[in-house]
Structure 1
Amino acid sequence: MHELIESRWSARGYDPTATISADDLTEILEAGRWAATWGKVQPVRFVVGIRGDTTFTAMTELLTRGNKPWAPAASALVMVCTTDDPDDAKAHDYGAVDLGLAVAQMSIQAVALGFNAHPMAGFDTEGARVRFAVPDDKRAMVVLAVGRLADDPSTLSPEVRERDSLPRRRLPLDEIAFAGSWGQAFTTGA
């Protein structure tokens, strides 16, 4: 596995004094823009806030209880939007796939630049629609926090410090990759 993928994780313990340059943030957005897209539709859109500006402040106000304590320390918040057309199930579903691909690439690009990216679904999507005038044919699905990790974990709240210190776990491959039929573990034959 590539080291950028292996080192990617969704931290909460950001340095509230760290900034992000316009060039670095643009590189992260470009990574999302260049993600694969179904049928060349390119439905993904971004609303970008940098800590201290009105967009960032408005996004922090829309976060749910679990994200409000730590996300305002991020250097930037990017609300990622895609197609909202439940009457066209294919476009609706593939728009969500395109958004996921964009967020993944943005997260990896953030790691490559020395940042951490944490995708969040915990925000008021209807409030975001109103506050940012998101068109009816789009839906906000993710807010991506981008920041630098705090150098000194003792400066973090006990809750954030504890959550960030938990081991990163994923289900074993033989429980999620199948061959032949569902539940039959994929093996390489080795």
Structure 2
Amino acid sequence: MTQQPILVLTTGGTIDKSYFDALSEYQIVESGIPALLREARVALPFRVVELMRKDSLDLTDADRELIAAAAREAPESRIVVTHGTDTMTDTAKVLAAAVPGKTVVLTGALSPARFAETDAPFNLGMAFACAQVAAPGVYIAMSGEVFDGLKVRKDRAAGKFVSDDLR
């Protein structure tokens, strides 16, 4: 298998949240994704571009267009987008319509990457694996599963993504 480079676009979300003391709220800080990739000893070529530092509930249509434009205009055909989980499916829809012919995988975390007990490294690894082998399209990689980006929803009560069989 040839190793095609992967572009990682970071947008913020829980995966990049931190807190500074017991009285403060979580804040999105500089992306920890480059450190996670170094710690994982990722050997294939990759490039990280920090697009924004936003909670996904604060993303606007203009932000989603910026994410789509960055993916569409990138020389890489395999892309991982780190994103908050609350509106990940909304961004997946925009990407599916605006970025043809590329493999785009969205991932995030249900607890910050800086926490000892986090799903961030596993989800990021799943997204990298999916981006390497999946056909062009938009996917969501979370909790050990890969979903069609247009046929998935976040089940907030269960704290996970589930296939949306109604579509």
Same fold (TM over 0.5): no
Higher helix proportion (structure 1 or 2): 1
TM-score scaled to structure 2, two decimals? 0.30
Higher relative contact order (CA 8 A, sep 6+): 1
Q: Radius of gyration: which is bigger? A: 1
TM-score normalised over the length of structure 1: 0.27
Give the structure with the larger strand fraction. Answer: 2
